[in-house]
Amino acid sequence: MVNQTDQETSFWDEAFPFLERLTKKECKFLLIGNIACKYHGLRTELSEVDLLVSDNQDDMMLLYETLHELGWTSKDREVKKSDDFYLSIPVQDGCIDIISKTPGLHFPEVYERAVNVKFGKLSLKVLHREDLIRNKSLLNDPRHLDEAIELSMMSTFDK
């Protein structure tokens, strides 16, 4: 939650505690989108966190519990939920987008292939590059297709 103090709260001051709480609760999720792109070598803006969360009932309950604990379910946060389970949570200078489905990805499979990455004191799962390429190539947005092509080109250099 944005603090109304003299000192400005940064994006990561809000996003990191959220990720930390989800991790401590053992909610199954993984980082996709910009952070996954950045991890796999693309230069991207990091003013958003995109999460793919398990649609398992227990994991959904842990997610909503965490949102409530942080006060992110109140009217001032304007958390939006759609039928396909998409939450967009505004945070300082960015947003946290949470989804349970996205083209080309089946959660249990991509969760097993995800890469464990240390972010400070947290170990978080990041979408595997091949799964990221598949997902980006299936999204209906030229920017995502460009990212898929660039990631594919980078993959050829890794072999």
In our burial notation (b when 16+ CB lie closer than 10 A, e otherwise), range 71-108 reads ebeeeebebeeeeeeebebbbbebbbbbbbebeebebe
* Residues 42-80 pLDDT 10s: 887 767 899 999 989 899 899 989 998 988 875 555 545
Asked whether residue 148 is domain-assigned, the answer is no
Number of domains in the chain: 1
* Residues 74-102 pLDDT 10s: 555 554 554 567 888 888 888 899 999 99
Asked whether residue 90 is domain-assigned, the answer is yes
Asked whether residue 69 is domain-assigned, the answer is yes
Asked whether residue 37 is domain-assigned, the answer is yes
The domain that holds 73 is classified in CATH as 3.30.460.40
Asked whether residue 1 is domain-assigned, the answer is no
Q: Are 71 and 77 in contact (CB under 8 A)?
A: yes
35: Cα separation from own chain's centroid:
7
**Does the pLDDT of residue 8 top 80, yes or no?**
no
Q: 149: part of which helix (H) or strand (E)? A: helix 142-158
Q: What is the pTM of this model?
A: 0.83
Asked whether residue 110 is domain-assigned, the answer is yes
157: Cα separation from own chain's centroid:
26
Query: Which amino acid is present at 71?
Result: G
Query: According to the model, what pLDDT value does residue 157 have?
Result: 57
Asked whether residue 150 is domain-assigned, the answer is no
Domain boundaries, position 63: 11-143
Asked whether residue 49 is domain-assigned, the answer is yes
Q: Which of these, 7, 15, 12, 33, lies nearest to 89 by C-alpha position?
A: 15
Average pLDDT over all residues of the chain: 85
C-alpha distances out from residue 142 to 77, 103, 149, Å: 30, 15, 11
Q: Kindly report the CA angle at 36 between 27 and 22, in degrees rounded to 5?
A: 15
